[in-house]
Amino acid sequence: MTLDQYTDRLARVRLRFVSTLEGKIRDAYAAIPKLSDALSDAASVVDAGYRCMHGILGIGPTVGFPATGRAAHDVEDVLRTPQRDKRGLTDDEVLAFKERLNALREAASHELQTFHSVREPQ
């Protein structure tokens, strides 16, 4: 693979990441009422959220979103034990999830603004 091909492929991955990031964060917010350990299907919602955050963590830093990746890692940390234990979140874990998700939204917003401002023609 030539350098140009690699650069083009990386640019496509980056654009795909950018185009889905806000939706993934929105979906995580929408899932909050379904995360409680009092709900029977909460474990599957936690699992989906964990996988989503893991994906953001895995791709974000690679395509130039290091703060977003770190913040996704913090959200993933809240979900890790419940996901492993196949259970929903306790009330304290829901609060921690919300706090860390807010931090993720802020980091992503900042890095997306930077991304879009760099891409805007001068």
Predicted confidence at residue 31, as pLDDT, reads 97
Which residues are CB-contacts of 41 (< 8 A; sequence separation ≥ 6)?
34
Per-residue pLDDT band at 2 (split at 50, 70, 90): confident
pTM across the whole model: 0.90
Which residues are CB-contacts of 94 (< 8 A; sequence separation ≥ 6)?
32, 35, 36
* 8 A C-beta contact, residue 86 and residue 78: no
Q: Over the stretch 51-68, which tens digit does the pLDDT of each residue have?
A: 999 999 999 999 999 999
Q: Over the stretch 88-112, which tens digit does the pLDDT of each residue have?
A: 999 999 999 999 999 999 999 999 9
Domains with residue ranges and CATH for the chain: 10-108 (1.20.120)
Q: Kindly state the average pLDDT of the residues 36-61.
A: 96
For residue 97, which of 35, 24, 55, 45 has the smallest C-alpha distance?
Answer: 35
Cα angle vertex 76, ends 72, 81, to 5°? 170
